[in-house]
Structure 1
Amino acid sequence: MEYYPRIIELKLEKWLKRREVILLKGPRQAGKTTLFLHLMERMGGNYITLEDEEMLRTFEENPKALVKRFGKVLFIDEAQYCKKAGKVIKLLFDLHPDLKLFVTGSGSFDIKVEVGKYLVGRAVYFELLPLNFEEFLLWKARDLVSIFRDQREMVFDFLRGEDVRPESSFEQEFRELLDEYVVFGGFPAIVKEDDVEIKQELLRNLYMTYLEKDVFFFLNVRHLEKFRNLMKSLSFMVGEMLQYSSLSSDLKMDFRTLESYIDILRNTYIVGLLPPFHRNLVTEIKKAKKVYFSDTGLRNAVLGDFSPLASRTDKGKLLENFVLNELRSYGEVRYWRTTGKAEVDFILKFENKIVPVEVKSFGRVKRSFLSFLRAYHPERALVLTENDFGVKKIGGADVLFVPHWFV
């Protein structure tokens, strides 16, 4: 089997020989099954999917027979199809001390299946999301990965307080790769494909399969048109604050249904909500959250727009969404906004330091950015931009200007 590396393998490594159940969650087609088949090639064992009705019935009614037949290493895929999966896994774990279990579940796993209360102390949880930009480079341009890592390490050094001299290499290639990544996203099947029309069709099919199989069939959402309209509205709202009351009115959807649908989108790894940053300043917004998509390619599929980044009116939103998804690996991320509408895109908590982060195309930093620097006096700040690279002293802070892909 041809296999492309995933960074999560480094996190999994130390758990492979331990007794705890490894439970892997994530969105549809993020590569969970492929990862398990790769681990099975390494470790041996057997693979079953509970999407198979016969396997599901045996898992529910006589799980000990599975262990007797398949041995001491068992990979169980699509566990969300069994409503009592947690109870069965606990039983197998308790009865078979020499059994190593690997279990996958889609995002809907958390909604329909009770697992946590049965597996306390028995399982470790991991999330497998679409490829991040580093993984995308590993798959598409491996010879640039070391350059990318050096550039990102320079950003880390700067945030830790070191003096740096940013240098950007192979800009055009990185720019083209970033364009592809932001437009088509990081789902493995889409990244592997080079034909643009096939990429588009695969994303459209992923979107429709999510609606029909996860939302309608598995989660019993019967008003698919309303759900689809909500997804489209949220696609337009990337980087904007989510106002439930106005959205409910616009979509002619009752408040409770709207909350339920957004919870589904969050739990199935389609959207994320970014909370605000506040430090006891009464003028700062404390409740409203901003909307972002876990994968920009799927977001573009919802809108049916796969135009190149340079020609898009929503270019700024897409770059902001990209930066947020990458920043999450650095540390806790928030946004800042006051009731007077002063705003900074992101506030990153990096090694107990507060770092304001602004995402721009061209031009100077906004007055709002200066307002934050004056209010909080951070030592370091970061601006992701398309030009004007270097370090500047602004408002008492050292501000690093680097290309978007440095993050």
Structure 2
Amino acid sequence: MLYPRGIQPVLGQTVGARRVTILTGPRQSGKTTLAQQLLTELGHGTLRRLDDPALLEAATADPVGFVDTGERPLVIDEVQHAGDPLVRVIKQRVDEDDSAGQYLLTGSVNFLTAPIITESLAGRAAFLEVWPLTQSELSGSPERFIDHVFVHPNAARDLPDSTLTRYDYLERLCRGGYPEAVRLSPRMRSRWFADYVKTIIERDITEQFGLRKVNELHQLLRLFAARTSNELVMTAIVDEASVERQTVYDHRAWLETAYLLHRIPAWSRNLTARVKKREKTLIPDSGLAAWLLGKSPAALAKPTDPATGQLLETFAAAELLRQTAWADLEVSLWHWQDREGAEVDLILEASDGRVVAIEVKASASPTKQWFRWLTRMRDKLGGDFVHGIALYTGRQVLPFGDRLTAAPIDALWSLTSEGTATERLMRSPGAA
């Protein structure tokens, strides 16, 4: 099944404007499908997949001939398998010819961590990321929550009551967003996640970095998963894993390069003198995180399960992270915490310094206490504070003061490119 992707128009525009476009993201997130769709839309171009042993052998044996043949744009899928020589040839070609639309390179490793890519193609290439599916991509209409909440600060207040229950959210977070996995039954999805992690650790990372102690990496991934959406204290990981400190840092870097881990940096605007600088760690797909923790919707539905809150935050953070890749506004994702206990789960900061602050709650009954730190942030930031939203598992949108709103979690995918109900009404024929 083909899903409409929010990044798709951005990809087409970027390939049309830049000499080289580099499309990265987790394995099985849909990069190859996007590349194929682009060539279909263009009506020309060449696709070469380096997971084909014959094509990989050709690329490594004669990188010059491999690059010089084929109609443009030349799409090289999983380019990391061919190594540095192929990238150097591409650099030479785009230095000789500065026309746009020559190469689209895809890969399941984060090329921003690969010196040969960043150094050789600096200023020559545009980098785009493809993450697993968002909830609205799954339903057929990529959402614009980020753009709407910055442009129309009260947009969330215009949403109708949600039809989703708390259990519905738990099912969605356990399903995740990998295109192949979402179509499977829970039992088959569990097996898919097991195969997925095994392939990345025991093939991709081993091939890329020559790793041999794969059991250590499996163990560390689960330890990081237990801390998803929490402040990352590396000494605690080192102590629990009982391996050398440098090994833990190296393994974390490899897991990040393979998109099994992501960091959410700490945000600071001098709101207090005691801001914490530690990052949060994030498993960038809630379904994968739930599988790593051995959690099902039924288990998470128990009031005493401590993982429910952190997995719902992981679910919301992943939705926002995916949207930043195609939002019209340039927005980055942060978190905030100080040493006195004040914290805000997620912060969206636009390039002009404006901020949308978000709390994520597992409860279905909002309280004024949820807005304690959002209120402090609003009062400190003044006009730069666009809105503070507490996302929760209830059904009603409720105002809690100036620029403070409790909204169902599905607000993240209910603000689509069609706008809110009021915006649609104002655009309709006969509207005043």
- Give the TM-score taking structure 1 as reference length: 0.84
Structure 1 residue 170 corresponds to structure 2 residue 130 = no
Matches within 5 A, 1:136-155: 136-138=138-140, 145=141, 155=149
Matches within 5 A, 1:195-344: 195-281=185-271, 283-308=273-298, 309-311=300-302, 313-328=306-321, 329=324, 331-344=331-344
Gaps of 5+ in 1: 139-144
Q: Report the CA distance shift for 1:301/1:113 in structure 2 as closer, same or farther (over 3 A).
A: farther
Equivalent position SS for 2:119: coil
Aligned to 1:190: 181
In structure 1, C-alpha distance between the alignment counterparts of 2:314 and 2:27, rounded to whole Å = 20
- Count of aligned pairs: 392
Deviations 1:161-196 (A, max 9, x none): 679444225335xx66643331021111112x2422
In structure 2, C-alpha distance between the alignment counterparts of 1:78 and 1:131, rounded to whole Å = 20
Aligned to 2:11: 12
Q: Report the CA distance shift for 1:352/1:373 in structure 2 as closer, same or farther (over 3 A).
A: closer
Aligned to 2:116: 114
More displaced, 112-121 or 229-238? Answer: 112-121
Report the alpha carbon displacement of residue 379 of structure 1 after superposing the two structures with TM. 6.1
Report the alpha carbon displacement of residue 11 of structure 1 after superposing the two structures with TM. 0.2
In structure 2, C-alpha distance between the alignment counterparts of 1:281 and 1:19, rounded to whole Å = 40
Q: Is the 8 A contact 2:77 2:106 kept in 1?
A: yes
In structure 2, C-alpha distance between the alignment counterparts of 1:62 and 1:302, rounded to whole Å = 42
Aligned to 2:347: 347
Aligned to 2:391: 384
Q: Is the 8 A contact 1:80 1:108 kept in 2?
A: no
In structure 2, C-alpha distance between the alignment counterparts of 1:133 and 1:163, rounded to whole Å = 17
Report the alpha carbon displacement of residue 69 of structure 1 after superposing the two structures with TM. 4.9
Q: Is the 8 A contact 1:165 1:391 kept in 2?
A: no
Q: Is the 8 A contact 2:333 2:346 kept in 1?
A: yes
Report the alpha carbon displacement of residue 304 of structure 1 after superposing the two structures with TM. 3.1
Equivalent position SS for 1:264: helix
Equivalent position SS for 1:116: helix
Q: Report the CA distance shift for 1:88/1:171 in structure 2 as closer, same or farther (over 3 A).
A: same
Equivalent position SS for 1:188: coil
Instruction: Specify the code of the residue in structure 2 equivalent to 1:189.
Output: E
Instruction: Specify the code of the residue in structure 2 equivalent to 1:122.
Output: R
Q: Report the CA distance shift for 1:81/1:391 in structure 2 as closer, same or farther (over 3 A).
A: same
Equivalent position SS for 1:131: coil
Equivalent position SS for 1:279: coil
Equivalent position SS for 1:125: strand
- Give the TM-score taking structure 2 as reference length: 0.80
Instruction: Specify the code of the residue in structure 2 equivalent to 1:78.
Output: E
Q: Is the 8 A contact 2:167 2:301 kept in 1?
A: no
In structure 2, C-alpha distance between the alignment counterparts of 1:120 and 1:50, rounded to whole Å = 23
More displaced, 198-207 or 366-375? Answer: 366-375
Report the alpha carbon displacement of residue 339 of structure 1 after superposing the two structures with TM. 1.3
Instruction: Specify the code of the residue in structure 2 equivalent to 1:383.
Output: A
Report the alpha carbon displacement of residue 340 of structure 1 after superposing the two structures with TM. 1.4
Structure 1 residue 400 corresponds to structure 2 residue 393 = no
Higher relative contact order (CA 8 A, sep 6+): 2
Instruction: Specify the code of the residue in structure 1 equivalent to 2:396.
Output: F
Q: Is the 8 A contact 1:3 1:38 kept in 2?
A: no
Instruction: Specify the code of the residue in structure 2 equivalent to 1:183.
Output: C
In structure 2, C-alpha distance between the alignment counterparts of 1:57 and 1:368, rounded to whole Å = 57
* Root-mean-square deviation (Å): 3.0
Q: Is the 8 A contact 1:356 1:381 kept in 2?
A: yes
Aligned to 1:142: none
Deviations 1:125-145 (A, max 9, x none): 21111112221222xxxxxx4
Equivalent position SS for 2:313: helix
Q: Is the 8 A contact 1:342 1:368 kept in 2?
A: yes
Structure 1 residue 31 corresponds to structure 2 residue 38 = no
Matches within 5 A, 1:119-138: 119-138=121-140
Aligned to 1:47: 47
In structure 1, C-alpha distance between the alignment counterparts of 2:92 and 2:357, rounded to whole Å = 48
Instruction: Specify the code of the residue in structure 2 equivalent to 1:25.
Output: T
Q: Percent identity?
A: 26
Instruction: Specify the code of the residue in structure 2 equivalent to 1:205.
Output: D
Instruction: Specify the code of the residue in structure 1 equivalent to 2:132.
Output: P
Q: Is the 8 A contact 2:286 2:311 kept in 1?
A: yes
In structure 2, C-alpha distance between the alignment counterparts of 1:163 and 1:402, rounded to whole Å = 7
Equivalent position SS for 1:117: helix
Q: Report the CA distance shift for 1:52/1:315 in structure 2 as closer, same or farther (over 3 A).
A: same
User: Which residue of 95, 100, 103 corresponds with 2:102?
Assistant: 100
Gaps of 5+ in 2: 413-432
Instruction: Specify the code of the residue in structure 2 equivalent to 1:381.
Output: G
In structure 2, C-alpha distance between the alignment counterparts of 1:96 and 1:57, rounded to whole Å = 26
Q: Report the CA distance shift for 1:276/1:70 in structure 2 as closer, same or farther (over 3 A).
A: closer
Equivalent position SS for 2:278: coil
Q: Report the CA distance shift for 1:26/1:164 in structure 2 as closer, same or farther (over 3 A).
A: closer
Aligned to 1:358: 359
Q: Is the 8 A contact 1:79 1:105 kept in 2?
A: yes
In structure 1, C-alpha distance between the alignment counterparts of 2:112 and 2:130, rounded to whole Å = 14
Matches within 5 A, 1:73-88: 73-84=73-84, 85-88=86-89
Equivalent position SS for 2:231: coil
Q: Is the 8 A contact 2:229 2:313 kept in 1?
A: yes
In structure 2, C-alpha distance between the alignment counterparts of 1:5 and 1:222, rounded to whole Å = 39
